[in-house]
Structure 1
């Protein structure tokens, strides 16, 4: 996938002036009894990122940040759980300055494991509304994705759709597609239902979806979309950004799959559509906290937010950022009013429910 060039030329960042506060330290002091203040230690022009987001768009944003500031971004990519364990193991000796991942539950787990520290920045607080930040600013949102109902335009009318709960009704028997219960996306979706509706209703929903499966869960979200195109099922539970990736794929067959898909935001008259978040946090033992904070400010700024949205088809957290035409075409929607920490709090309950109802 070719990345869209949405960044506009910007003036050189003021970050190159870091450490200038100490430049007068060697001047002669007229008062011999007054000690000369020690110069402020200037950070090495580098920031080290541990990330569970493996997207070309992120790499491009980091590259642009380096061009703007002269601060080199070193990236280590792995799964979120692995990175959390690595940060715990490394402790004070870690070289990581930032931790990046998807899913509010994982971000809450990182905070719980005491590997993060508060981000102190008025710029970040201006860029990112409080609803997309940890209450203590231990992590800051950088993008969101909605878990929606994708449907066959040929076989389903939008007016036939309404809520997640309605997918358990008899009219959808043998027509519902979803990925495995091992998917964090599905676990967090069910965790949100546990928080909003209680465990009994959440279990009832999961059992109803299993009853209406068109097939046993297989593959990722894109595979569910392809199964709709192949006529295996009529509706699928999937993240919006996968629809965008299919629609803009270099593969003609994937673009054709996207053309036949409709996007429906469920529960607009009730609790709202489930939304999950990607976030970035300052590590507890960061060696370059100023540089790391500048990168958080940059990633959450209008220009970078528009670039990420246009190339990864996620929703920006910065309200000043304009969404690409595809996302605009889906319209505005009401999202769940939910503390993202609850996704982690109810994760094990969600897994237990999936196992109980036979959602493989």
Structure 2
């Protein structure tokens, strides 16, 4: 009898130890079936899905698109806005500690500069490759085009007929003396236009063109692209160099006076019989030390999709990079046009020379 009691006690002890062992890794107050924090024993909370953007774009439609992306995916979009050069330097300084996942900016030269500075990495995605033609992506997919804008000639419809216009080179000839308007050469838009002419025509001809533009100015460069349009209507000149999306903004402005200005102007796409109209690009690059790489790629896929592309074009009058995206009626009314065929990286490679030429010929 005594031996039987001892055996029963031992079995009870073993059973008790087994139950303790089975429960030893789970605190008594833990919720059944949920992961636990190793230190506190509290139920683990699911990590918030996010993607962090450093952007030099400052358009309202971008914020709308980010909100729509979050609504569709549950991925929160956090945005830091600054000038592109500042953001590139910040990415270099932060290195592996950066919180940024995407770098977004305008100008192919700036995008290439980010690549050269080593702050980007390839974004691999079949969806992106399908959405964006090869010529609107970096050859290594370190940046992806989001939109394009054409730098065109805008003219006074009451004084100039379209058949009087032809090329960028032509408005630098003597017949346009005192009739040309353009913003400062400090504008990246003008630097990239001149850089494209350096690539296509060579430095000597590009310098001759810049000199001719300065000689033909109706007034000293001042203001932005929309100010050049207003100056045409005011009689300061007959033709201006201007980005298409600024003209779209004027024509659809909430200010009726700006609408009246745009209605008196025409849009001409130069160099259709030669090298094509200069276009520039805005794009996104996957940051080298991204902590949310998958989410960042998903955002690029969304932004280059038909729905987002159509909205971006409708609200900001930029040309979509996705050929299947619907364009607004204004852009359709301009028709199809031939574009310059060059590597956008060249805009950055020739930027310094473009600035040197501008200073040399007195383009303020």
> What band does the TM-score fall into relative to the shorter chain?
0.7 to 0.9
Rounded Cα–Cα distance in structure 2 between residues aligned with 1:230 and 1:204: 29
Q: CA deviation at 1:170?
A: 1.8
Counterpart in 2 of 1:348? Answer: 352
Query: What is the Cα deviation at residue 229 of structure 1?
Result: 1.2
Residue number among 209, 216, 236 corresponding to 2:213 in the alignment: 209
Residue of structure 1 in register with 2:123 after alignment = 119
Alignment counterpart, residue 102 of structure 1, candidates 78, 103, 106: 106
Listed as ranges, the matches of 1:244-255 within 5 Å are: 244-255=248-259
1:331, distance to aligned residue in structure 2 (A): 1.0
SS in 2 for 1:147: strand
Q: Would the aligned equivalents of 1:44 and 1:288 in 2 still touch at CA under 8 Å?
A: no
Q: Deviations over 1:109-151 (max 9, x none)?
A: 0000000000010000000000000000000000000000000
Alpha carbons 1:43, 1:288 under 8 Å: kept: no
For the aligned residue pairs, the C-alpha RMSD in angstroms reads 1.0
Task: Tell me if 1:222 matches 2:223.
Answer: no
Larger Rg: 2
- Distance in 2 separating the partners of 1:309 and 1:74: 23
Secondary structure of 1:106 counterpart? helix
Partner of 1:141: 145
- Runs of 4+ aligned structure 1 residues displaced above 6 Å come to none
Task: Indicate yes or no: 2:163 matched with 1:159.
Answer: yes
Which SS does the other structure have where 2:218 is aligned?
A: coil
Paired with 1:136 and 1:200, the residues of 2 have a C-alpha distance of: 32
SS in 2 for 1:278: strand
- Alignment deviations for residues 90-111 of structure 1 (CA, whole Å, 9 cap, x no partner): 0000000000000000000000
2:182 to 169, 178, 185: 178
- Counterpart among 285, 290, 295 of residue 299 in structure 2: 295
CA distance in 2, matches of 1:43, 1:120: 25
1:44-67 deviations in Å (ceiling 9; x for gaps): 410000000000011100000000
Which of residues 195, 198, 201 is equivalent to 2:199? 195
User: What is the CA-CA distance between 1:168 and the residue it aligns to?
Assistant: 1.3
Q: Is the 8 A contact 1:142 1:299 kept in 2?
A: yes
Give 5+ residue unaligned stretches, structure 2: 1-34, 36-45
